[in-house]
Amino acid sequence: MTTTTVDRTAEIKQKIESRQARIGIVGMGYVGLPLALLFSEARFRVTGFDIDSHKVDTLNRGGSYIVRIPGTEIDMARENGFVATADFAQIATMDVVIICVPTPLNAHHEPDLSYITGTVSSIAPRVHEGQLIILESTTYPGTTEEVVVPLLEQGNPNGLRLARDAVSPGFYVAFSPEREDPGNDTVARRDIPKVVGGCGPAACDLASAVYKGIFNRTIPVSSPAAAEMTKLLENIFRCVNIALVNELKQLCMRMDIDLIEVIDAAKTKPFGFHAFYPGPGLGGHCIPIDPFYLSWKAREFDFHTRFIELAGQINGGMPYFVVENIVEALSRQGKAIRGARILVLGMAYKRDIDDLRESPSLTIIELLQKRGADVAYNDPFFSKVGQGRKYALNMTSTPLEEIPNFDCVVIVTDHSQYDYASIVARAKLVVDTRNATRGIDADNIVRC
């Protein structure tokens, strides 16, 4: 007597490909919200989940809290059925659940998975047969299978287990790293290839089908761990190369060589070179954080990631280097740092975005304040900067008209809205950490 096997993924895959699958995205931040809008634009039925009631209310009114996403995009999504909610009971009605929550470091520079574990624990009681759970949050290799899957299995009251093939009952789990680049308008989101690693071929196939609905290309890999490592490699590559140019920047200043000129000359080579540029330190949710996730995990295998940790030390030291240059520049003008009035231009971690996460400006301001300086800031994207995980500034943006009243203006974030020639003309002293004043010839500029 023969037994017939049933492909349990066929129904959910058909729903995905016909745009009938309900997509739930947990975390309506810089990753989750753009992803939700992509799915909505592709005519999927999308629900955004977030524990922040302000975000939920804003989205349901058609508003936006991210500068690069206009309210008109939210309105279009709502017309396509997009809704936001803080009610996690609705997870039970979703066919696909995508987790896009933060993965910061704790005070000891170790991975803080509390957002992931908290989210998965909230999802677990609502997981149902055939449901696909995808983690997008950046993390160390092994998180999906060692943390997410056990929490889902232990927290499910119906005793559902992970299905590793298309014929076994249960739910499916995959990992697909986010590849958001805030402020980058040169590459359409749909054109960014999507890496997918599933807990088994069936999960990988389903997750690939989901993302094929909104991305032009998907890249399946052999496992969630391979996909998790892919994301870390991408960011560690950038971290290490930025550390290299940051170290060369300090050397070139001593040698009186213009490093930017050198980099621009080197990048004319049509092979074997990729240009990276120095700056006042690393910011954002990836590059300053992700390498330490791998360093932490490597200890489990009795492996010390010396190269990665050295890069982290160099990049982490750049705000201190900037402050020392400010102190020296003021001293040459006969002004002590204590009591000096300093205006920091730019609070965001990179140009033309409204994201403060890990911004070097925050560290630079706190270091200057500890030296006794009277510090203010200006940023067109932040009228106020209050309190966050690692800062408590409680400051308001100072108008640029006040520039002549400051002893020093420090360019930390080179927003395109700034008129740098006008800033230099009105300032007593300008310390430029971004090469924003290149081409302006003035005695009051110090580039570092």
Q: What mean pLDDT is reported for the chain? A: 95
Query: Is residue 190 domain-resident?
Result: yes
Give yes or no: residues 44 and 154 share one domain.
yes
Give per-residue pLDDT as tens, 85-140.
999 999 999 999 999 999 998 888 889 999 999 999 999 999 999 999 999 999 99
Question: Taking residues 20-44, what's their average pLDDT?
Answer: 97
Give yes or no: residues 52 and 184 share one domain.
yes
Query: Is residue 409 domain-resident?
Result: yes
- The Cα–Cα gap between 266 and 253 comes to 18
CB 330 within 8 A of CB 408: yes
Query: Is residue 134 domain-resident?
Result: yes
- The Cα–Cα gap between 102 and 369 comes to 29
What are the Cα distances from residue 158, in Å, to 88, 155, 186, 199, 200? 18, 9, 47, 20, 22
Domain boundary among 292, 314, 336: 314
Spatial neighbors of 401 by CB under 8 A, at least 6 apart, are none
Give yes or no: residues 80 and 144 share one domain.
yes
Question: Taking residues 430-439, what's their average pLDDT?
Answer: 96
Could you give the dihedral angle defined by the CA atoms of residues 432, 435, 437 and 443, in that order, rounded to the nearest 10 degrees? 60
Domain boundary among 265, 280, 314: 314
User: Which position has the token pair 């030390």?
Assistant: 313
Confidence at residue 3, expressed as pLDDT on a 0 to 100 scale = 52
The pLDDT-based confidence of 4 (bands split at 50, 70, 90) is: low
Question: Taking residues 315-344, what's their average pLDDT?
Answer: 97
Confidence at residue 180, expressed as pLDDT on a 0 to 100 scale = 83
Question: Taking residues 183-198, what's their average pLDDT?
Answer: 90
The pLDDT-based confidence of 420 (bands split at 50, 70, 90) is: very high
CATH of the domain at 215: 3.40.50.720
Could you give the dihedral angle defined by the CA atoms of residues 69, 351, 413 and 274, in that order, rounded to the nearest 10 degrees? 150
The pLDDT-based confidence of 53 (bands split at 50, 70, 90) is: very high
Give yes or no: residues 184 and 321 share one domain.
no
In 50-175, the DSSP E strands lie at: 83-85, 96-99, 132-135, 172-175
Give yes or no: residues 277 and 165 share one domain.
no
Core vs surface per residue 266-288: b (16+ CB within 10 A) or e: eeeeeeeeeebebbbbbbbbbbb
Give yes or no: residues 289 and 321 share one domain.
no
Q: Identify the residue with better confidence: 202 or 287.
A: 202
Give yes or no: residues 190 and 46 share one domain.
yes
Give yes or no: residues 250 and 326 share one domain.
no
Query: Is residue 1 domain-resident?
Result: no
CB 23 within 8 A of CB 44: yes
Q: What positions carry a catalytic annotation? A: 286
**303, HSE (Cβ side, Cα atoms, 13 Å):** 10
The pLDDT-based confidence of 1 (bands split at 50, 70, 90) is: very low
DSSP state string for 211-268? HHTT-S-EEEES-HHHHHHHHHHHHHHHHHHHHHHHHHHHHHHHHT--HHHHHHHHTT
DSSP state string for 373-435? -EEEEE-TT-SEEEE-SS-EEEEEPPPGGGGGG-SEEEE-S--TT--HHHHHHH-S-EEESS-
Give yes or no: residues 200 and 240 share one domain.
no
Core vs surface per residue 343-352: b (16+ CB within 10 A) or e: bbbbbbbbbb
Query: Is residue 124 domain-resident?
Result: yes
* Structural domains in the chain (count): 3
Give yes or no: residues 296 and 335 share one domain.
no
- The Cα–Cα gap between 403 and 425 comes to 10
Domain that holds residue 215: 10-222
Query: Is residue 3 domain-resident?
Result: no
**Total residue length of the chain:** 448
CATH of the domain at 273: 1.10.1040.10
Query: Is residue 324 domain-resident?
Result: yes
Give yes or no: residues 205 and 251 share one domain.
no
- The SS3 of residue 360 is helix
* Run of H or E including 194: strand 194-198
Domain boundary among 160, 190, 222: 222
Provide the greatest CA pair distance for the chain. 96
Answer whether 0.85 is exceeded by the pTM.
yes
| Residue 2: pLDDT over 60 | no
Neighbours of 211 (CB within 10 A): 23
Counting DSSP H helices and E strands in the chain, the numbers are 15, 15
Give yes or no: residues 255 and 304 share one domain.
yes
Confidence at residue 5, expressed as pLDDT on a 0 to 100 scale = 77
Query: Is residue 186 domain-resident?
Result: yes
